[in-house]
Copies of this chain bind each other. A is one copy, B any other.
Amino acid sequence: MAAKKQPPTETVGARIRALRLAANLTQDEFAAQLNVSRSAIAQWETDRAGQVRDNMERIAKVLNTSLGYLVSGETGSLVGDELALMRLYRACSTEDRRILVLTARRLARS
């Protein structure tokens, strides 16, 4: 049971650092682009502080990533049947969409 070292459970700070390094930026440079002190960056990357909405948004922009990835490490794309459902959903009236969502909610709860 070697179990290497799964990185799916990374932390927010770890992702920030990884992205910053990938962009060949020093904490100093990075801080400059975000208009904060370098020590702030250091704390962000060590998950001490800084996880504020505004920051996250700017970080995502500067480092060309998405908020979803930065914060929860997720990415989202649709596969075949999911896409089909989306098409149908979009073809529905506002009211029917509501019904559909409610139905989904009920089913998902079982």
Q: Are the CB atoms of B108 and A91 closer together than 8 Å?
A: yes
Q: Interface size on A (CB < 8 Å)?
A: 42
Q: Are the CB atoms of B107 and A88 closer together than 8 Å?
A: yes
Main SS of chain A's interface residues? helix
Choose the segment among A2-10, A26-34, A94-102 that binds chain B (4+ C-beta atoms closer than 8 Å): A94-102
Closest chain B CB from A4 CB (angstroms): 14
Q: Are the CB atoms of B107 and A96 closer together than 8 Å?
A: yes
A101–B83 alpha-carbon span in the complex (Å): 11
User: Can you list 26 A-B pairs with a CB-CB distance of less than 8 A?
Assistant: A51-B53, A52-B52, A52-B53, A53-B53, A56-B71, A57-B71, A66-B68, A66-B74, A66-B75, A66-B76, A68-B68, A76-B76, A76-B77, A78-B78, A78-B86, A81-B97, A85-B85, A85-B86, A85-B101, A88-B101, A88-B105, A88-B107, A92-B107, A93-B110, A100-B104, A103-B103
